[in-house]
Amino acid sequence: MNILGVSCHYHDSAAALIQDGELVAAAEEERFTRKKHDSGFPSKAIAFCLGRGGVKLGELDYVAYYEKPFLKFERILTGCVETFPRSGPLFRRAMKAWLGEKLWIKSRLSRALDLPAERVLFCDHHLSHAASAFFCSPFEDSAVLTMDGVGEWASAALGKGEASWREGGRQSLVLSREIRYPHSIGLLYSAFTAYLGFEVNDGEYKVMGMAPYGEPRFADAVRGLVKRFDDGSFKLRMDAFAYHYDAERSFTGEFERLFGAPRAPGARFVTRLTSLYDDTAAPSSRELEENQRFADVAASVQLVTEELVLGLAKEAKRASNSKNLCLAGGVALNSVANGRVWREAGFERVFIQPAAGDSGGALGAALYAYHALLQKPRRHVMTRADWGKSYSAGEAADALRALGAGFEAVEDEDKLLDRVAQLLKDGKVVGWHQGRFEWGPRALGHRSILADPRSEKMKDTVNIKIKFREPFRPFAPSVLSESAASYFELGGKPTPEAARFMLMTMPVKDKKRAEIPAVTHVDGSSRIQTVGPEGDALYRKLIARFQQATGVGLVLNTSFNLKGEPIVNTPAEAFATFMDSGMDALVVGPCLLEKGKNQPSERRRTWRSSEAPDKSLVL
């Protein structure tokens, strides 16, 4: 039984293929088209998934789409009517997009996949999120909580899943309550993302990274925008927000009255705690003061978001009385909030699958069809995130040769690991391209840039010389699962499942902070990825080898891309990114390249997204 899940037409288009309940392949379209957050029809991701599964066009049993387009269209029309006459530009943009493409997704899928229309299924947006987490989790029963910007009408939902591994067992996933648009944690956070000068649906994690530089002195002002109820639910004070009628702006003048003038996009962010690195322009006291205000606003919205998420999670606990929680939706990528849920909401175990945002809906829709619709027993637990395309050693060598790269093929795995561990120990920054690329926004040891976490300077080096991004951005560690408790405050609990996918932030132990400064954020926290025996064997061996060499059982791991670009897919993309950055070495399969033997002569990159991102949050 082959079921393909598809998500598209909002952001982060993706496809996922399950065969007899086992996940075979899953990928975001951006990895193939090189357009970050590509929202187009995911032709290339679909072709990859079908190819990986050996499925020809017309051979699929079902295709499941991740939301209900007519319900979403109804919500947009209702919003335009109820906010008339302010919604004119939003209405025109929405009609062009919806009448031109989005309403016809059923026939598009039917034609593209050569399937009769009755084999095209639709799953509610939040149900797709919920299924993507619950049916990939190790739990037979679990509370389920989904939170994002908005789907059709819902922006958050809670319910319960009960599903069995036995033939004939009950397979049930029910969302019993929802919070409806325009009241939304995701849209609240995105409005502040825009206020702080970042792109919505992209820069939210930058707000999260900026928050620890500030004090939440505006928390009461942010709380004033939200009416909270005792049952964990909330409503927003909509006079401060514009996203429900404006295609360009997400907040009103009320924001400026409360928080001051917004931050200019692209402006330098510098506070007394941020690094200037090689920037010779010392900040004025006015610049420091202004930036501290932005950091304080970021800290405030982050704190209130954590309070809202925690309120919903505690309600999920109260309503389900389950020991387990599955989280999904874009808000479940907020690793700081996730860490608080794990520590404070009363659940023993918390599972989040790596593509918790909209791309994950493709997987969830397919799993919902297999388990809830067809009542098939569970077959799959997601313990690893490498579901994308891989390249053989021969393909890697051919691609590098074609680009004129000088490399050494180190076929002996032990020798390769020793060489890389030594490079890291010597303070070199290494591009690591191995196996299948990851599912979701995090690089987890397959398309990663690795460095020594012990170096104070390494954070600045990787931010500025390697990735050309803002110096305030933090880095995460990949840590051997058995070493995690030595470095991080786990409160005596076993490491949560979500930490495998770098989706939880933990405090670094006081006595260890000086030992691993490059992966300790300014507030002493760290967004950890645990690498256990169930994970990638080669990556685990590399970290172990680094531990043997240095005594430290973790490495700095950041995604293999430059600022504003999708994570690399092919060996050629890895080489181009290596040559365009300050990385010292690159490992593609067994091929080891060092910068000295590969002098940059011209820009190698042949792709670059030229499309302006859509600023609308709700279409």
Partner 1 sequence: MPETELPEPLRRAKAVLHAFFSFEADVLLAAFYYLALAPTAWLVRLSGRDGLGLKDAPTGWTAREAVDPAEHMAGQG
Per CB under 8 A, residues contacting partner 1 are 64, 68-71, 74, 78-85, 88, 91-92, 95-96, 105-106, 118, 121-124, 127, 157, 159, 174-183, 227, 229, 231, 233-235, 238, 244, 368-369, 372-373
Residue 167, class by beta-carbon neighbours within 10 Å (0-12 exposed, 13-18 middle, 19+ buried)? exposed
CB 434 within 8 A of CB 587: yes
- Residue 548 to residue 3: CA distance in whole angstroms: 45
The pair of structure tokens assigned to 251 is: 């907040």
Q: How far is the CB of 222 from partner 1 (least distance, A)?
A: 17
Closer to partner 1 by Cβ: residue 321 or 422: 321
* Minimum CB–partner distance for residue 225 and partner 1 (Å): 14
Read off φ and ψ for residue 477, nearest 5 degrees. -100, 150
Buried b (16+ CB within 10 A) or exposed e, 409-431: ebeeeeebbbbbbebbeeebbbb
For residue 228, list its beta bridge partners: 234
**Cβ closest to partner 1, residue 230 vs residue 510:** 230
Q: Which phi and psi (to 5°) does residue 158 adopt? A: -135, 155
Output 231 or 412, the one with its CB closest to partner 1: 231
Cα–Cα distance, 117 to 102 (Å, whole number): 16
Q: Which residues contact 253 (CB under 8 A, 6 or more apart)?
A: none
Q: How many CA atoms lie within 13 A of 496 on its CB side?
A: 33
Q: How far apart are the first and last CA of the chain?
A: 34
CA atoms within 13 A on the CB side of 274: 27
Distance between CA 447 and CA 571 in Å, rounded?
Answer: 10
Nearer to partner 1, 91 or 213 (CB): 91
Using the minimum distance from each CB to partner 1, give the nearer residue, 121 or 301.
121
Q: Which amino acid is at 176?
A: S
Helices (H), 321-392: 335-344, 360-368
Nearest to 302 by CA among 199, 194, 207, 182: 207
Q: Which residue has the tokens 């387009």?
A: 69
Q: Which H helix or E strand runs over 486?
A: helix 484-487
Map tokens 């080891």 to a residue: 592
451 forms beta bridges with 556
Q: CB-wise, 127 or 421, nearer to partner 1?
A: 127
Minimum CB distance to partner 1 smaller for 154 or for 516: 154
Contacts of 537 (CB under 8 A, 6+ apart): none
Q: How far is the CB of 412 from partner 1 (least distance, A)?
A: 47
**Which residue, 158 or 400, is less far from partner 1 as judged by CB?**
158
Least separation, in Å, of the C-beta of 173 and partner 1? 9
What's the one-letter identity of residue 308? L
Nearer to partner 1, 236 or 462 (CB): 236
Distance of closest approach, residue 117 Cβ to partner 1, in angstroms = 11
- The nearest distance, CB 122 to partner 1, in angstroms, is 5
Nearer to partner 1, 250 or 529 (CB): 250
Nearest Cα neighbor of 12 from 67, 78, 93, 87 is: 67
Nearer to partner 1, 158 or 451 (CB): 158
Give CA separation, 348 vs 317, 487, 501, 612, in Å. Answer: 11, 21, 18, 43
**Cβ contacts of residue 412 below 8 Å, gap of 6+?**
none
Closest contact distance (angstroms) between CB of 158 and partner 1 is 9
CB-nearer residue toward partner 1: 18 or 400:
18
The torsion defined by the Cα of 305, 311, 312 and 318, in degrees rounded to 10, comes to 160
CB of 94 to partner 1, least distance (A): 9
* Closest to partner 1 by CB, 108 or 442: 108
Q: Are 123 and 364 in contact (CB under 8 A)?
A: yes
